[in-house]
Amino acid sequence: MKISINEASKKLLQGEVVAVPTETVYGLAARFEHLDGIYKIFQLKKRPQDNPLIVHVGNKGQVGELVESCPPGYEDLIAAFWPGPLTLIFPIAKAIVPDVARAGLPSVAIRMPSHPQMLALLAASGPLVAPSANLSGRPSATCAAHVEEDFGHEFPVVDGGICRMGLESTILHWEENGGWRIARHGAVSAESLSQIISLSPVMIEKEKPLCPGQKHRHYSPKCTLIAGFEEYAGDEACVVGYSDRKYHGASQILALGASSRPDEIASKLYATLRLLDARKVKCAWVDCRLPPFDAYQAIADRLKRACQN
């Protein structure tokens, strides 16, 4: 059910949950200090309790109200990337953001989104916790119809159109001894971050993930996805691929865009994964052959995780 920013703000102030647009993906929002709303988010998404939420702020000054101190390089990072798709994890000593929203961690993740409707809502409601607006483990939502697919037509959503980027924010983690590390690849590339701060090497897969969410199943449609093309033999298979590549023998090809256009691929990614289920496709091959740099890194990360279903 589409609602206005005014209606959304009223609901949020009463402790309710509403879906909101951001430039990355839609979020399921509640006021950061409303425990009822926070519990409701976990319940609605069927989200594991050990997976913390990102706090969204409407201006840079609000960070000082949520954390005691900022890591080195913080000023340069937010000058370069906020408002925008970069989330920073701040170590904290006091529980200003409730424990349950942080999954009990001694840190809090914060970002300032750039979507104009989200900024208007944040100005009216104050900081909001918001995970992506999808059932846990499922592909994220990049338009209001996706939110309704997962939570029903009666669920309140501020319709901000199709998300411009279509990929979640990049999450940066800072450690006294380790420096800055990417905890989740996303809409800001490692290359553009490296122009502002020095990045420590990306974590080894087997290490404990810096984001608890990374250990859970993610982005997966019901359709069984197979990554890699070593064994692909055509055979009337469904393929998720690129408009400039050939897939001999495929029964249907869902093109994410041209392989040279990562922005296009990112913006179509989740809609395409959802389309597989809408078309009741049982099994599909996913062409994960992408270069290991720039925006491709986050896309390859999502595709590979979606295939682990």
Between 29 and 255, CB nearer to ligand TXA = 29
Between 221 and 241, CB nearer to ligand TXA = 221
Binding map of Mg ion across residues 127-146, x = CB under 5 A, - = no contact: -----x--------------
Q: What strand order describes the sheet that includes 224-227?
A: 224-227, 283-286, 238-241, 252-255
Q: What beta strand segments (E) does the chain contain?
A: 18-20, 27-31, 54-56, 86-91, 107-111, 128-129, 170-175, 179-184, 224-227, 238-241, 252-255, 283-286
| Local structure of residue 202 (DSSP, 8 states) | P
Among residue numbers 19 through 78, which ones bind ligand TXA (CB under 6 A)?
22, 24-25, 27, 51-54
Q: Which of 16, 15, 18, 14 is nearest to 5 (CA)?
A: 18
State how far Cα 101 lies from the chain centre.
Answer: 16
Only one of the segments 5-13, 119-127, 207-215, 219-227 lies at the binding site for ligand TXA (rule: CB under 6 A); that segment is 207-215
Between 238 and 273, CB nearer to ligand TXA = 273
Identified binder of ligand TXA from the candidate list 89, 112, 298, 306, rule CB under 6 A: 89
Identified binder of ligand TXA from the candidate list 132, 142, 189, 297, rule CB under 6 A: 132
Distance (Å) of CA 272 to CA 84, 286, 288, 306: 24, 11, 14, 12
Partner whose binding site includes residue 255, from ligand TXA, Mg ion, none (CB under 5 to 8 Å by kind)? none
Partner whose binding site includes residue 25, from Mg ion, ligand TXA, none (CB under 5 to 8 Å by kind)? ligand TXA
Amino acid at 216: H
State how far Cα 251 lies from the chain centre.
Answer: 31
The verdict on 262 binding ligand TXA (CB under 6 A) reads: no
- Which positions lie near Mg ion, rule CB under 5 A? 132
The residues binding ligand TXA (CB under 6 A) are: 22, 24-25, 27, 51-54, 85, 87, 89, 102, 105, 107-109, 113, 130-132, 168-169, 171, 183-184, 210-214
